[in-house]
Structure 1
Amino acid sequence: MTTQQPQRIAVTGATGNIGTATVRALAAAPEVAAITGIERRPAGVPPPKTEYVAADVARDDLTPLLRDADTVVHLAWLFQPTHRPDVTWEANVLGSLRLFEAAAAAGVSTLVVASSVGAYSPAADDSPVSEDWPTHGWPGAAYPREKAYVERCLDSFERAHPEIRVVRVRPGFVFQRAASTEQRRLFAGPFVPGSLVRPGLVHFLPDIPGLRFQVVHANDLADAMRRCVLRPVSGAFNIAADPPVDPRLLARLLRARLVPVPAGLLKPALTAAWRMHLLPATPGLFETVLRLPTMDTARARSELDWRPDWSAAETMEEFLRGLRHGEGADTPPLAPDEHRRHEIATGVGQRP
């Protein structure tokens, strides 16, 4: 059962991968009256009911922006620069703390926060874990450390503010066609041409023992976010499509042959590439993926009535198609390469 009174929603990270899909889903809901999209570099035409506001969660005064909001949806997250963990800590952890405090000061009634499968502690086997699995992350990479720390901050926030309904959404890896180029920039870098990632051109894929991860289409995650906003639920929800993605599934999509490669052989190569700034993703992130548990999504299906429209294979297929065509969108985070190169050259939107 959904709430009846029209809501005013504030969304941080509104123009990113998850944000664009979530804002679209909320704007389409009759229960939502207005949306304030908070973004460091707002651009593009906002969806109906939506106004973009320029603000940095790590630096700007957020309380005035939240005064009229019934619900705050926190999606803002900085993945780069991986060589400057102090910068990502300031944006992701300290920025989250500042936002939570501003939400309480503004008197919002609901806080919905995008956490991650990366917040979970490693599991001993592939048995699916529910939302009560420990969220201590993996200490070898900044991303799981920061996600786990924000979970601890939310623990304290809930104790201090029992009057605020808090929801934590823990998705797998989130893909959509429009974000394909951005994700290539974030994790593979400029030396991996997306145009070559097509069936028949990739002849071999490494078959790494233990490599499997869960994914969800951005639109399906946005649907779960919308349900968390509009339903009187609280606590954590795992969000992912079936089945988990492994080398066998990727090889089938790319019509490639699997070649057994021990994980230990890849780590030195990844470390060297990262240190030479050839690869933006840290070797610790690769190790994190190898340790991720498989999530059980039963609670989302039962309490949110949530079902993904996209299977894991369909989600990956669309992501790969977006890579091949250099897909993007008209927001700074999702801009195609030529637009992003212009931003970098002119210094537009760069954090000092």
Structure 2
Amino acid sequence: MMSTRADRDGLHVVVVGATGNVGTSVVDALIADPGIGRITALARRAPTRTRDGVEFEPCDITADDLAPRVRGADVVIDLAWIFQPTHDPVTTWRNNVLGTLRLFAAVERERVPALLYSSSVGAYSPGPGRPVDEHWPTNGWPGAAYTREKAYLERCLDAFERRNGNTRVVRMRPGFIFKAGVAAEQRRLFAGPLVPGRFVRPERSPVLPDISGLRFQAVHSRDVAEAFRAATRLPVAGAFNIAAEPVIDIRVLAARFGSRPIPVPARLVRAGLAAAWGLHLVPASPDLFDAVLRLPLLDVSRAREVLGWSPSHSGVDAILEMLDGLQRGADTPTPPLQRRVPGGRWHELATGVGQRQ
């Protein structure tokens, strides 16, 4: 029998969106795996520092010819996404949906054996108040661009799978993803300049706002990366929920910080957020806040049983690490994650320039 490239040299993995929150962790996980023979990292802007054993190629999924970039790959991991500008959903649609569909078409054209796609808890329909498994409907929340885009791409993957029965398709659906090195990006994407990192010190606050209906699951970026690494190596397919315990709400965090939770109606928070967003003072939209309030909780049993995956960090630990990163001004030397985006002024960041991975 003729040996394949994987038999001789290890798998060739192409990581699209390799310089972002999850991308940097996925690249680290793949580097540490002796079964991975070659790593090609694609992103629109070059990282500040290169990594040994990683071939970086500048690539814009909305415009560049993607077929040569994925040609000969054993696995393509699709992590490319932009969250901003929320005031211009056409721009995010062009990148997140149309750009991703161009990548899917390239994978199909080149007959890549495996496609691993980063979906999200945001793809799911509003939750029933109990953890849901991977069979829960993925119709998203129609009010927010992020959830609409994630849900739409789930339908596109359904069609892709029907056309490409020989391609192994994996859909990761993680909760909120944090690590220290993503603190600078998180502040830019969701808080803006009105929330300096050094002021994010909940442990010094005697009270914390307990927003009605707000609860979610968090997971560390390295744990998400481990799920991708496992799915790269194992002959698995289908969707996997990825999240850590415990379920997070303000009462959980208040207990950790020794603070007292003070009930705050969600409608008041939304009204304030809508006013600030309308004035371009914060980048996070009130529609995204609506979607977050409706997210289901995730049952991660399939990831544990099929991938052999379990998180090494609790959800609280992931959040605390990110908060510590905010206080220290932590970042990562890639354009999406570093504190200062080259050539970036705040009004450019607020409109989305420099946010694409």
- Shared fold per TM-score greater than 0.5: yes
Look up the match of 1:38.
42
Of 276, 286, 290, the match for 2:293 = 290
Whole-Å Cα distance in 2 between the matches of residues 130 and 340 of structure 1?
A: 38
Whole-Å Cα distance in 1 between the matches of residues 23 and 228 of structure 2?
A: 10
Root-mean-square deviation (CA), in Å? Answer: 1.9
Whole-Å Cα distance in 1 between the matches of residues 56 and 39 of structure 2?
A: 8
**Where does 1:202-241 land on structure 2 (aligned, <5 Å)?**
202-241=205-244
Gap change, CA 1:194 and 1:254, over 3 Å in 2: farther
Contact 1:238-1:297 at 8 Å conserved across structures = yes
Contact 2:218-2:316 at 8 Å conserved across structures = no
**SS of corresponding position for 1:242:** coil
Look up the match of 2:3.
none
Shift of 1:199: 4.2
Contact 1:199-1:255 at 8 Å conserved across structures = no
* TM-score where L is the length of structure 1: 0.94
Contact 2:122-2:140 at 8 Å conserved across structures = yes
Look up the match of 1:334.
337
Look up the match of 1:312.
315
Give aligned-pair identity as a percent. 51
Of 303, 306, 312, the match for 1:303 = 306
* TM-score where L is the length of structure 2: 0.93
Contact 1:220-1:309 at 8 Å conserved across structures = yes
Whole-Å Cα distance in 1 between the matches of residues 15 and 308 of structure 2?
A: 23
Look up the match of 2:113.
109
Look up the match of 2:54.
50
**Where does 1:74-223 land on structure 2 (aligned, <5 Å)?**
74-125=78-129, 127-223=130-226
Look up the match of 2:283.
280
After superposition, the C-alpha distances for 1:3-24 in whole angstroms (9 at most, x for unaligned) are 8661101111100000000011
Q: Does 1:72 align with 2:76?
A: yes
After superposition, the C-alpha distances for 1:122-164 in whole angstroms (9 at most, x for unaligned) are 0222x11000000000011001000000101000000011110
Whole-Å Cα distance in 1 between the matches of residues 32 and 344 of structure 2?
A: 31
The count of aligned residue pairs is 347
Shift of 1:197: 1.3
Unaligned runs of 5+ in 1: none
Look up the match of 2:344.
343
Unaligned runs of 5+ in 2: 1-5
Contact 1:253-1:317 at 8 Å conserved across structures = no
Contact 1:121-1:292 at 8 Å conserved across structures = yes
Gap change, CA 1:223 and 1:273, over 3 Å in 2: same
Gap change, CA 1:351 and 1:112, over 3 Å in 2: closer
Look up the match of 1:266.
269
Whole-Å Cα distance in 1 between the matches of residues 175 and 98 of structure 2?
A: 23
Whole-Å Cα distance in 2 between the matches of residues 268 and 50 of structure 1?
A: 46
**SS of corresponding position for 1:340:** coil
